[in-house]
Chain A
């Protein structure tokens, strides 16, 4: 028996009316929150009233998800037909205080048929039983579309939702998720029909669009997606940004293959167009699975007082001020896809020759900028046959030099030159770009003094197949 049905039964049987109403309404609110933790149910103080709701549910993003009135009813019987006639057009939710199959079978079958007809006339009303909501809250699936069902059923579900209906819609969501990932139109047809009849038009459109984006993220063409939707995913930068924002706001999706396929589809521009995004589990997943593919041009480094990580790992990704930020407990590396962010930046300090030697190590160096208090001079490794800079060892280049180093240009293993400016605490690829993995690895080495953390960081940003989170914690 669902908790709500149990509490309704015991409270009505043993408590004074006001206490019983409080207990039942409180549990109804908790039932809603268990399904959709973002929902904010508020009590009106009414109970089982003809036209005044018992609970009003709203969501933080009220523009996307308007509030919904919830009417508690002892049962979903013939009386619901009157309720639908009176209230149906406003798209409320009727929540029964009894579980599926709790009424006599024969009358139940009759009323279910009547209700299904009545509810099909009122396209935006939902009549749900508490055990059906519990089934959705506790369902075994964790994929994106199941999460979509959980977060949408209270605000945008429609029709009759008994326990079997709950299982049906959850299974449909999982099948649709699999079908979109496998680019299987045949697999998608049936679940799309179920989803279409289980949600109001606005939410169905959102579901279909999400599936269409998954279809695209898995390598398919949006036009080949079998579902129809009022809002079609057009693969514009805005749409991709919206999709990423949506994904980062969802609970963690553990399917590494999905993140790798999505990583094939997005660019740094897509990520940075979000302007800001917290260190959500799904952002970590996407970046960790795209380290070799995402290409950036520069990085700004900052150190700070040690702080508690917001996630259960040593390093984490976020997006801030249109930069992709790799954070540790006492540093931040902000990656950019162009050099514009560097214009007015200051705050760094020149380094000693010994410190630069230590940081550069065995990397080939092309130029070093030295400030010896009298003047700033460039020291270049010269090629034997022309004036172009030639990569040489740092020891060779700085032999006998004194003063402080304001900049150094090194040659990265994949070819491009990386110029570190210590007065700005920045590093910029002078032509082209490089992988996030290499930029993170070498910019952290050259710009930060991480000590023991450096080896961990190098391991963290080294790409590997099917990144397993526990492995890199």
Chain B
């Protein structure tokens, strides 16, 4: 397997595991995911230049206070900090672009390893969003487009930074709990 295939397989595995963990909290429905043979345009947005970019997962949160709120997620199945900070900054620019086109969304960065720990508390701040969008202005803002401060602040409020671990993945609904929920769901099924 080539390095590219290895990275793809790891990414695909991470996306699937993140989807599974989110749904096994009982608080999310995640119908859309990348690494599928079918194109899912609900995860895809156009850059100003016409090229497209996609998030890894998309769906809906359930239950108060987020009932039916849409979210998009980027998944990094990393064993170390790696280049996550670089990618995270571009991700924030993508969030800005997505929110300006089809928002609002909750935005989740789901990783298996923390990064930039020294400024961890600032990673979800409006200043970080603003700085990241400015850094990637040429790719994600129209030519001459001014930065929308209120949009940056709104995105910052909707940022989720989630660090998963294998043990945490197992801390979810038990199969008995799932069976109860499934039974209720099946009982309510309609033709």
Contacts and interface: CB of A to CB of B under 8 A. Distances in A.
Interface of A: 8-9, 12-13, 17, 21, 29, 40-53, 55-56, 67, 69, 74-75, 77-79, 82, 86, 97-98, 102-103
B24 interface: yes
A79 B19 CA distance: 11
B188 A44 contact: yes
B23 A75 contact: no
A42 B190 contact: yes
Contacts of B20: 50, 82, 86
A82 B16 contact: yes
Contact of A51 (B12, B33, B182): B182
Interface string B170-191: 0001010010011001101111
B191 A50 contact: no
Interface stretch (B39-47, B88-96, B150-158, B160-168): B39-47
12 contacts: A12-B40, A21-B31, A48-B33, A49-B31, A50-B20, A51-B24, A51-B173, A74-B38, A77-B37, A78-B16, A98-B37, A102-B37
A74 B32 CA distance: 9
Given A42-B190, A53-B182, A69-B186, A74 B42 contact: no
Interface of B: 12-13, 16-17, 19-20, 23-24, 29-33, 36-42, 173, 175, 178, 181-182, 185-186, 188-191
Contact of A52 (B13, B17, B181): B181
Nearest to B12: A78
A55 B189 contact: yes
B182 A74 contact: no
Contacts of A98: 37-38
A49 B29 contact: yes
Nearest to A74: B36
The 6 closest A-B pairs by CB, nearest first: A42-B189, A50-B23, A74-B36, A47-B31, A48-B31, A75-B37
Contacts of B186: 44, 53, 56, 67, 69
Given A53-B185, A74-B40, 4 more contacts: A44-B188, A50-B20, A51-B24, A82-B16
A75 B38 contact: yes
B189 A13 contact: no
Contacts of A46: 29, 185
A75 B34 CA distance: 12
A147 B126 CA distance: 64
Given A43-B189, A43-B190, A102-B37, A69 B182 contact: yes
A14 to B, nearest CB: 8
A44 B190 CA distance: 7
Contacts of B185: 44, 46, 52-53
Contacts of A9: 38-39
B145 to A, nearest CB: 27
Contacts of A47: 29, 31
A41 B191 contact: yes
Given A12-B38, A46-B29, A40 B182 contact: no
Nearest to B15: A79
Which of A43, A50, A75, A97 has the most chain B CB within a 10 Å cutoff?
A50
Contacts of B181: 51-52
Nearest to A47: B31
Contacts of A49: 23, 29-31
B52 to A, nearest CB: 13
Contacts of A75: 36-38
A324 B26 CA distance: 58
A78 B14 CA distance: 12
A103 B37 contact: yes
A86 B178 CA distance: 10
A102 B33 CA distance: 18
A92 B185 CA distance: 15
B29 A13 contact: no
Contacts of B17: 82
Contacts of B173: 51
B37 A74 contact: yes
Given A53-B182, A98-B37, A17 B189 contact: no
Contacts of B24: 50-51
Contact of B39 (A13, A56, A86): A13
Contacts of B40: 12, 74
A48 B30 CA distance: 7
B12 A50 contact: no
Contacts of B23: 49-52
Contacts of A82: 16-17, 20
Nearest to B58: A17
A86 B21 CA distance: 12
Nearest to B16: A79
A317 to B, nearest CB: 34
A67 B187 CA distance: 11
A13 B23 CA distance: 24
A8 B38 contact: yes
Nearest to B173: A51
A217 to B, nearest CB: 37
Contacts of A13: 39, 41
A17 B42 contact: yes
